[in-house]
Amino acid sequence: MDLDGGDWILDTNDLGKVRLQVESRDDKPVFVGIARTSDVENYLQGVSHTTLTDVATSPFEAKYNNHGGDRRPAAPADSQIWVASEHGSGKQTLNWEIEDGDYSVVVMNADGSAGVDADVSTGANIPFLDEIAWSAVGSGAFVLLAGIALLVAGIRRPSNPTGTAPVTSSAPAAA
């Protein structure tokens, strides 16, 4: 997340946490890492790889951008670019406290070979969303109550619209 000078609004410690779980489908050891996007671009320069560009949830659809290349990268765990990483056989779980900046997630075979096939799941804990949600609910409730009060006041008819005493005529008394 890049606050781009907006860090006066939000302390970078309040950005939350991300969890990534990656498990190879073909039992090869897998690597998952997070690094600055510029470092990832340099690491993958000349390497054939695919970038996830968009995800739709209903129905689920992922869009990818393929990048050509003929160079094989060094084993990712040997690189010093990662701010957080996990690698090995079986399910790998990476927990990362979000930092200000432009970061990318990389999933690849632990030996750097082509053809990664993995299941990936993600989750995030963003602490300030609770406050935003409760503020929205409270504001909505206030507007609803104010609207009801205005409707009741507008619909209610006064019992005496002119504000004067009604004039009554009396019949003359018979003698």
What pLDDT is attached to residue 150? 83
Asked whether residue 171 is domain-assigned, the answer is no
Is there a single domain that holds both residue 151 and residue 66? no
pLDDT more than 90, % of the chain: 42
Is there a single domain that holds both residue 99 and residue 16? yes
Is there a single domain that holds both residue 117 and residue 134? no
The string of pLDDT tens digits covering residues 22-75 is 999 998 999 999 999 999 999 999 999 999 999 888 888 989 999 999 999 989
Mean pLDDT of 67-94: 93
Asked whether residue 107 is domain-assigned, the answer is yes
Asked whether residue 40 is domain-assigned, the answer is yes
What's the whole-model pTM score?
A: 0.66
Q: Which residues of 132-153 are buried (b: 16+ CB within 10 A; e: fewer)?
A: eeeeeeeeeeeeeeeeeeeeee
Whether the pLDDT of residue 125 is over 80: the answer is no
Domain that residue 141 falls in = 128-157
Is there a single domain that holds both residue 28 and residue 75? yes
Is there a single domain that holds both residue 121 and residue 36? yes
